[in-house]
Structure formats: structure tokens, C-alpha cells
A and B are shown apart, each in its own frame.
Chain A
């Protein structure tokens, strides 16, 4: 008893994979080319397993020592002080960047400023965004402020202006025009409209961006440490110079733990600001969106 065969439609042909194959081949060629031109000493990779393990063991040894005995108590204290200095640097830097980014954000918003001003401001913001903080630090640090945390904070601040200004401008462009109209209808002047119709609407979002930038700046402040801007980065750099692996292990633990704590506090505040007391779904989107942009 055979079932009647269904009207034999031919199986549709598989779509061509030519483009995907070519893309994959090109990628392989680029990666192989990269491997060739990177001048990397591939043979030294084996050191990862020999030296790497040894150093890892030494770091763990430093961490598990009694933290109240010399010299480990000194190590922990230095690490914590350095980390606090880094956080202070990141905080001041973020604040400077935030304050500078407010006027620039308004000037870069199409629904606020004149088109020519918008274009000029956007170019400036883009330039700032592409130059790494380290470069600002090199230019600001050395000539005017000397080596120190003030120069580091300023470099972080200038570096933050680019992204914060751009995000503020984008938030301003996305506001609800209703409040602007009603403010105009009751006779508010230009400054009042900006303050009460524009700024109030974007404030929660902008505050969340600031906090997010603060989290980023904590990591960036460690980078500035390697050219002598103080904080945990400078201490880390020195510890590496003398290869004090037990101290390095302690420094890593302090960096990871403190960063995670500050991140979670700042993240909780961000969620609270954006979502208010309720709603927990939309804020996640905003956060990761901001992340992709920064």
C-alpha cells in the first residue's frame, strides 16, 4: 500500500553561497596577512604556559598572604590609596567633561542651533572623540600642568566631551516637541525654553550617560597612570618595573573588586534615574545602546 506521491515539486535550489565564501576567503587572507606583517614573535607564545603559570602562582601567593603582616599590609594600603586616587581623578574628569559638554551638546543639536553652528560643533566633537585620552594627556600634561593627577583629570575631561556632547545632542534631538510649544505659547523666552522644555526632558538620559562615562573613566585613569598621571596606574607600572608579582596580584584584586563595586552602584543609580521607580526593561536597552556608542 503505497501512498500516492505528492505532486513532485522539485526541491528549491539552495541560494548561491558565492558571496559568503568570497567574504570568508578575503577575511582569511586579511588575517594571514596581519599575522605576517605584525612582526610578532610567535615562538614566544610558549612562554605563556611556562612563565605565565609561574607569575600567576606568584601573584596568587601575594594575595593569600596575611594582609596585616609586613610588607603585605603596606601593599594593600598602597593599592587602596592608589585606587581611591584613580576614582577621584575619574570623578573630577567626568565632571569637567560633563560641564563642558552641556553647551556643546546644545550647539550640536539640530533642533536648537543654527545649521552652520551644528556642523562646526559636530566636527569639533568628532575630532575630540577620535583622539585618545593619552594624547590629550601628553599635550596637556607635560607643557602646562606637569605630571600629576590634575592633568590626568583634565585629559579625561577633555576626552569625555566628545562622546558626552554627541550623546547630549542626540538626546535633545529626540525630545517631545509638545512642551516646547506650550512654553512658547505661555511666552517663555529662548533661555527659558531651553531650560524648562529641552533640558528637563533630557536630564535623566544625560545623567545616565555621565555616570556611564564615569565608569569608563575609572578604567581610563589607569591608562593615564603609565605616563605618570598618578593613581593606581602609576603604582601598577612601578610594580611591573620591579617585577613585584605578589604586589601586582594584590593590585589586580583591588582594581577588580573596587571597579565591580563602583560599576554596580553606578549601574543601579543609572537604572533608577532612567526607569524611575518602576519599569526595568527599557533601561537595559538604553544602557547597552549607550555602551555601543561610547
Chain B
């Protein structure tokens, strides 16, 4: 009693991979080979020089906790720099955000100009700003504040302008119908809608600024990063290690606090 065999349809042939895929993969391989050659990428030191490095790594594994007590003022400085730079950066960023959205900026050329300006602002890394301001106002926290301030404008404006693009058009129509001008409709029809997101971005930017403080200080912008740089230059790796671990705890705490606050806002 055999079951009638199902009509044997031939198994469909597997479609050939698309040319786009093959081209894309070839491109990726080519770029990778080029990049690896360009930077002389090699992993051999991992096997040959691990013992050389071990002396240093050993120091990292024995952090000098007593040193932390002497860095207190640098920590306060780092947080203060982040507070001021985020506050003013985010405030100015809001203005640019309104100018970088079609919803609130009805002037075509000003919109395009703002978009370009912000793209240029964002394409320079934060460390470049630190170097500029160190050259202008000298080494110290003022340079760090100014660098982060400029950097924050770019991020705040981008994130906020995208939120403005997506606002509910109802209140805008109501404001237009009631005869509100550009400023009026931005203030009363748009701002209340984006405020929770905007405040959440502000906290996020504050987090970023704390994380960036190592880089900022390293390049001469004051705060804990500067202490790391000095200790590193003096080969005091056990001090660097203690600061790095403390840094990790501080970042984690601030992230937790900020995430909690953001969840309540949005």
C-alpha cells in the first residue's frame, strides 16, 4: 500500500546572485585589502610582543587607589565643563534646529544655508575644536567648554530638527489660522510638541560630554582628561588605571541617572 508519489515538480533552480551583490562584495574586499595595506595592519605583535607589553599591563592591573583622592577637583571641573557646554550648546542648538527644519523655517535659502553650516560643523571631530580653542584662549577648561559648546550645537540641532520635521501639523494649522507669525507658531505650535524629546536630547548630550572629557582633557581642554595625560606622560600607569576605572563608574552612574530622567520625560 504505497502512497501515490506527489507529481514530481523539479526543484526550482536557485537564482543566481545579483550583479549588484557580487560587485558590492568585490568592492568591500578591495577596500579592505587597500585599507589593511595602507595602515600596515598586522596582528603579529600580539604573539611576539605580548611579553613586552606585560610589564605595563601588570601596572594597569594594580591600580593606585590612593591617588584618586588627589583628583577630586579635576572631576568637579570635568562635570562643570560638561554642564556649561551642554546648557549653552543645547540652547543655541535649539535656535539652529528651528532654522534647519522646513516646518519652522519657510525661507528656502536660509534653510539650505543652515543645513550646510550644520553639516560642516558636525564633520569636524571634537578634538579639532579643542586644538583650535587651545590655540586661541590657551590650555585650560575654557578651551574645553568652547570646544564642547560648538560640538554640541551640531548634535543638538540635528536631532531636534529631525523631531521638528515630524511634528503633528494640526497645531501648526491652528496657529496659522489664528494669524501667528513664524516666531509665534514655532513657540506655541512646535515647541510644546518637541519639548520632551528636546530635553531628552539635552541629557543625552550631557552624557556624551562626560564621555568626551578624556579626549578633551588630553588635547588640553582641562578636567580629568588632562590629569590622565600628565600621568600617562610620566608613565604612572597605576594612577592612570585608577582614574580609568573611576571614570568608568562615573560614566555608568551618570548614564543611569540620565536614562532614568529621559524615560520620565518622553
A134 touches B215 (CB 8 A): yes
8 Å CB interface, A66-113 against B: 84-85, 87-89, 91-92, 95
- The proximity string for A residues 134-156 relative to B, scoring 1 for CB distances below 8 Å and 0 otherwise, is 11001100111110111011000
At the interface, yes or no: B53 with Cβ under 8 Å from chain A? yes
Within 8 Å by CB of B131, from A138, A219, A236, A256, lies A236
Could you say which residues of chain A place their CB within 8 Å of the CB of B34?
Answer: 88
A-contacting residues, B32-84, CB 8 Å: 32, 34-36, 38-43, 45-46, 49-50, 52-57, 60, 73, 76-77, 79-81, 83-84
Judge if A39 is at the interface, Cβ distance under 8 Å: yes
Q: Which residue of A lies closest to B142 (CB)?
A: A40
Query: Chain A: which residue is nearest B201 at the CB level?
Result: A292
Tell me which of B80, B120, B218 has the highest count of chain A C-beta atoms within 10 A of its own C-beta.
Answer: B80
B60 → chain A closest CB, angstroms: 6
Interface centre among A27, A126, A143, by most chain B C-beta atoms within 10 angstroms, is: A143
Tell me which of A8-16, A46-54, A166-174, A188-196 binds B. Answer: A46-54
Q: Which residues of chain A come closer than 8 Å to B135, judged between CB atoms? A: 51, 55, 240, 243
**Residue contact B80 to A85, C-beta cutoff 8 Å:** no
Q: Please give, as numbers and ranges, the residues of chain A lying within 8 Å of B214 by CB-CB distance.
A: 132, 134-135
Q: How many Å lie between the Cα of A132 and that of B49 in the bound state?
A: 24
Q: Taking A47-B137, A92-B32, A263-B123 as contacts, is the C-beta distance between A38 and B159 under 8 angstroms?
A: no
Binding site for B on A (CB under 8 A): 27, 30-31, 33-42, 44-45, 47-48, 51-52, 55, 84-85, 87-89, 91-92, 95, 126-127, 130-132, 134-135, 138-139, 142-146, 148-150, 152-153, 219-220, 222-223, 225-227, 230, 233, 236-237, 240, 243, 252, 255-256, 259-260, 263, 284, 288, 291-292
Given the interface pairs A144-B45, A292-B159, the reply to whether A139 lies near B35 with Cβ below 8 Å is no
Q: CB-nearest residue of chain B relative to A231?
A: B39
B99 to A: closest C-beta gap in Å? 18
Number of residues from B at the complex interface, CB < 8 A: 71
Question: Nearest CB to that of A96 among chain B residues?
Answer: B41
Contacts A47-B136, A150-B39; A288 near B77 (Cβ below 8 A): no
| Residues on the B chain within 8 Å of A44, using CB | 137-138, 142
New A-B pairs, 16, CB < 8 Å, besides A40-B81, A240-B134, A256-B120: A37-B76, A41-B138, A41-B141, A42-B142, A55-B136, A85-B38, A89-B35, A92-B35, A92-B36, A127-B248, A130-B255, A131-B248, A144-B49, A149-B38, A150-B45, A260-B119
Residue of A with least CB distance to B137: A44
Contact residues of A: prevailing secondary structure: helix
Which of A39, A152, A291 is B140 in contact with, Cβ under 8 Å?
A39
Asked if B127 is an interface residue, CB under 8 A from chain A, the answer is yes
Listed by A's residue number, 5 A-B pairs whose Cβ atoms lie within 8 Å are A33-B83, A85-B38, A132-B212, A255-B124, A259-B123
Min CB distance B84 to A, Å, is 5
Q: Which of A34, A126, A135, A284 contacts B80, CB < 8 Å?
A: A34
